[in-house]
Structure 1
């Protein structure tokens, strides 16, 4: 998949706007002063920083220089603005995603690496279609008529087996994920076998954190870390009616540390595979 095919302008604008706002805050420049510098109103600059409007590369460069940002920061933020100006990629199945999640999908397409901590079900990037269908069924947020297209959309956005640029994914899941049935035993069996197959790939690192580990850093909430080639990372935390996108360095660093600590508490890749195989054996013996 080519870069121009992967670039979602709304996601890029979010990255650009977040970087501009962070640089302005660090430089202690008021929004009014920054807006005046490029001939904008404060309101227009606010839209620019939120990613709700287009950001010209010239304006971005002028602002980053006003903020005395390091040259390398100016370069990558301007490069993102240039890419965002080249058009929006309309993602397949857009109609079944809420607006706040469309932004995540765009960011996910741009990410080079992803870490996910999941405590309820397997990460979307490693789900089978049948398992994904069971996950989104009976949801307060998804009408029955949208279950099938929503599940298909989850599969369509998977990049772990992409031939050209596969997503590098590291995930830690709770042991309870292995024992929570979604769909029939056949669905779970297919999901387990799919995960074992993906775990043989060099770009997939899936670990189980055993229930016996007790209290640990991830118990408060599931989260995702997205890392980009051209931008700093983002932490993503989803809740019932929306999501948080955190890009402040202190916030991202905290979640990155949490991710490292979770991996340290989890089983090895070999022991995780053994745990999955034990569930396969249990399901087959119960047939």
Structure 2
């Protein structure tokens, strides 16, 4: 039997419907009774297993007394097509604040990611994150701290009672880029070494010496869970893209398979990260870029 026919868009809309119901203090059974629907219909809409039409969404939300602006936002979500390519604009937010991403991460049982030029947000220290956010063209100066806090909040995923299996591929150039200077990078590298001690987290370094590789197209993450089809998440400065078609997912699986061949293994990566942390610690100031031996 195949996995249920559910999409990222349907699951996000379902989560919004459930939140609206819980806000007014109704159970699923009580909501079904109020609407004159079956409980299974309400349950499937809220879980994303049933594609909620614009009409059903309007009836449901109106029964919850949702404000007009929020109603219009969610009706627009209901109108969008499920064609395997779902674009979510960031607006004035960063991806960390994107509800679509948080929902998918929270249900994933495994997440495999690749970063080319920076460290994954789930692994960033607060100071490293602040430097990254502060230099984002999308964030006003007075909005930096709130965005940093949002990024730190997402890291609760690592400390969850039953966390997903996390595998991070990170390119050597991301680790050598002295974001914030040597002190910030020393603390960041120590953080990475610590994360490798967690039983559900792995970090593998892709050496610069490997040259060209399939990951040059940019960073991404593959998210999987037991109840839904896998998806690939890709982001840029202004929007995020959720890819769910089997063909797209297969393409990114091939990229990951090649990265697995090129990257250092977990033990080698941990040793090299510790060496680079020591080099940053010995650097005199933030203007110096350490030069540890190239990973082999």
Under TM normalisation by the shorter chain, which class is it?
A: 0.5 to 0.7
Distance in 2, matches of 1:78 and 1:254, equals: 26
Shift of 1:188: 0.8
Counterparts in 2 of 1:155 and 1:13: CA distance versus 1, 3 Å: closer
Q: Which residue of 2 aligns with 1:58?
A: 41
Shift in alpha-carbon separation, 1:136–1:99, aligned structure 2, 3 A: closer
1:202 positional shift? 1.4
2:192 alignment counterpart: 195
Higher relative contact order (CA 8 A, sep 6+): 2
Q: Deviations over 1:201-259 (max 9, x none)?
A: 11111111101101111111111111123211111111232121111111112212211
Unaligned runs of 5+ in 2: 1-7, 16-38, 65-90, 285-296
1:192/1:77 CA distance change after superposition, 3 Å: same
Aligned counterpart in structure 2 of residue 240 of structure 1, from 220, 226, 237: 237
In structure 1, the gaps of 5 or more residues are 1-8, 17-55, 62-75, 88-93
1:10–1:106 contact (8 Å) kept in structure 2: no
Aligned residues: 220
Q: Structure 1: how far apart are the matches of 2:236 and 2:158?
A: 28
Deviation at 1:280, TM superposition (A): 1.6
TM-fit CA distance, 1:10: 6.4
Task: Name 1:134's counterpart in structure 2.
Answer: 131
Match of 1:264?
Answer: 261
Tell me by how many angstroms 1:137 deviates.
1.1
Q: TM-score, normalised by structure 1?
A: 0.67
Alignment match, 1:184: 181
- 2:14 & 2:241 partners in 1: Cα distance? 14
Quickly say closer, same or farther: Cα 1:116–1:196, change in 2 above 3 A: same
Contact 1:131 1:183 in 2 (8 A): yes
Q: For 1:119-166, what per-residue CA distance to the aligned partner results, in whole angstroms no more than 9, with x for missing partners?
A: 111111111111111111121111111111111111101145324122
Query: Structure 2 vs 1, CA of residues 219 and 198 (structure 1 numbering), >3 Å: closer, same or farther?
Result: same
Q: C-alpha distance in 1, partners of 2:101/2:241?
A: 10
Question: Which of 110, 113, 116 is 1:119 aligned to?
Answer: 116
Going from structure 1 to structure 2, the CA distance change for 1:131 and 1:248 (only over 3 Å counts) comes to: same
> In structure 2, the residue corresponding to 1:142 is in which secondary structure?
coil
**Structure 1 residue corresponding to 2:49, chosen from 78, 86, 103:** 78
Q: 1:169 aligns with which of 166, 170, 173?
A: 166
Find out whether 1:147 has 2:155 as its counterpart: no
Distance in 2, matches of 1:59 and 1:184, equals: 53
2-structure distance, mates of 1:281, 1:217: 30
SS at 2:166 equivalent? strand
Structure 2 CA distance for partners of 1:274 and 1:111, relative to 1, 3 Å: same
Deviations 1:168-187 (A, max 9, x none): 21111110111101113221
Aligned 8 A contact 1:138 1:144 in 2: no
